[in-house]
Amino acid sequence: SDVIKLNTNECPYPPSPLVTEMIEKMDTERFRLYPDPEASLLVNELAEYYNVKPEQVFVGVGSDDVLGMAFLTCFKINPLDFNKENGGIIFPNPNAPTAIEMPLEQVEEVIKNNPDVVVIVDEAYVDFGGHTALSLIDKYDNLLVVRTFSKSRAMAGMRIGYAFGSKELIDAIKAVKFSYNSYTMNQATIETGVAAIKDDTYFKNIVSKIIETRENAKKELKKLGFSFTDSKTNFIFATHERMPAKEIFEKLKKKNIFVRYFNKPGIDNYLRITVGTDEEMKKLYRALQEILQK
Ligand SMILES: *Cc1c(COP(=O)(O)O)cnc(C)c1O
C-alpha cells in the first residue's frame, strides 16, 4: 500500500460512483446466461454519446483485443506486400511514449494519402487534451479510431476497448470476431461500462483534474532540471539535464516509486511518468529532490 505506481498510465482516481452503484445493484441471477456477444447495450451507449451510428462501433475486451481483431481483419501477411510501400498503417495519437500530439490536419493527410490500406489511429490518450479523428470516419472508409476505458475512464481492470469506423470496416472486424467468439465481453463489464459513460460529469472532472496535475508537474519537473515533450496525455516523457534516466529510475524504485524506463535506443535517457494524484506527485517531487541533490 505504500507503493506509488506511476508506471502504467492508469487513472489515479476510482471509477464513477455510478459504476459502484451498478455493481451493487447488479442482477447476478443473469450471470448464469451467456452475455450478449454483440454487447449491444454498451455499443448503443457509446454510439449515442459519441454521436455515431451503432453500426460504426466495435467493442472488445480492452483495446489490445480491438487492435488484435483489427490486425486479423486488415493486416493479413502477404509476402508480395513487402515489395510495395505498405500494407497498413497504425500509430497512436497522442503518441506513446513521447506524449506528443500530431495535429489533426496531418492525421488526415496520412489517411487521405493511403486510400488503399486501413489506417488505425490509436486514441488511448485523446481525452487528455488531444484532438480526435472521430469526425473523419464519415469521410474516409479506411479509417479506424481505437479507444479504451483503461486510462481516462479509470477502468483498466474491467478491460473495455472500442473502435469507430465505417460500417463496412466494422462489419469486417465483427465477422472475424464472431467466427470464434470465445472472448466475449462479460455481462458485468458491459453494464459497468454503460454506467461509466452515463456519468459524464464525473468523467470530465477526473480528466480535468489529471490535466491540472500534469500542467503543474511540468513546472515542478522543470524546476528539478528535467525537460520533456509537450504532453497531451496522462504521462510525462522526461529527461534530466545531468543524471541518467536509468539511475533516477532505479533510485526511485528503492524509494517505492515506480515510473517507466525503456532501455531502447533513442529513448534510453527518458522516463515515462504517469500523472498520479497531487499527493502522489508531491511525494515524487520530494523523492526526486533527494535523489538529485546527492
Ligand atoms: C494503454 C494503451 C492502450 C490501452 O490498452 P487496453 O488493452 O485498452 O488496456 C492502447 N494503446 C496505447 C498506445 C496505450 O498506451
For the CA atoms of 51, 178, 74, 40, what is the dihedral angle to 10 degrees? 10
For ligand 1, atom 2: residue with the closest CA:
124
Q: What residue owns the CA closest to ligand 1's atom 12?
A: 124
Q: Is residue 96 lining ligand 1, measured as CB closer than 6 Å? A: yes
Return phi, psi of residue 6, to 5°: -120, 35
Cα of 273 vs centre of ligand 1, distance in Å, is: 16
3-state secondary structure of 13: coil
Q: Which of ligand 1's atoms lies nearest the C-alpha of 148? A: 8
CB-count exposure of residue 3 (10 Å: 0-12, 13-18, 19+): exposed
> How close is the Cα of 154 to the center of ligand 1, in Å?
12
List helix spans (H) across 158-199. Answer: 167-178, 187-198
Give the residue, by CA position, lying nearest to ligand 1 atom 3: 124
Sign of the dihedral through C-alpha 60, 200, 94, 103: positive
Residue with cell 487513472: 11
Distance 294 CA to ligand 1 centre (A): 36
User: Which of 58, 63, 147 to mutate to test ligand 1, by most ligand atoms within 8 A of the CB atom?
Assistant: 63
Between strands 257-258 and 4-5, the pairing is parallel
Ligand 1: distance of its center to the CA of 34 in Å? Answer: 27
Whether the CB of 97 sits within 6 Å of ligand 1: no
Query: How many A from CA of 54 to the centre of ligand 1?
Result: 22
Cβ–ligand 1 distance for 90 under 6 Å, the answer no
Dist CA 71 CA 75 (whole Å): 5
Q: Look at residue 84 in the predicted model and tell me its pLDDT.
A: 59
Amino acid at 43: V
Long-range contacts for 100-107 (Cβ within 8 Å, ≥24 apart)? 100/229, 100/230, 100/231, 100/232, 101/129, 101/130, 101/131, 101/230, 101/232, 103/131, 104/131, 104/133, 107/133, 107/136
Identify which of 66, 67, 122 to mutate to test ligand 1's pocket (most ligand atoms within 8 A of the CB). 122
Q: Could you tell me whether strands 161-165 and 143-148 are parallel, antiparallel, or unpaired per DSSP bridges? A: antiparallel
What one-letter code names the amino acid at 7? N
pLDDT number for residue 181: 65
Tell me, using a 6 A CB cutoff, whether residue 150 lines ligand 1: yes
**What is the strand order of the sheet 89-92 is part of?**
57-60, 161-165, 143-148, 119-122, 89-92
Q: Considering only CA atoms, which residue is closest to atom 10 of ligand 1?
A: 124
d(CA 276, CA 290): 20
The pLDDT of residue 82 is: 46
Question: Are the beta carbons of 167 and 183 closer than 8 angstroms?
Answer: no
Residue 152 CB–ligand 1 contact under 6 Å: no
Q: In this structure, what is the dihedral angle of CA atoms 110, 113, 119, 124, given to the nearest 10 degrees? A: 10
Cα separation, 86 vs 117, whole angstroms: 8
pLDDT means over runs of 10, the chain (294 residues): 92 96 91 88 98 97 92 68 68 94 94 92 97 98 97 95 97 90 85 97 98 98 97 98 98 98 95 98 98 88
| Interval between CA 265 and ligand 1 midpoint (Å) | 22
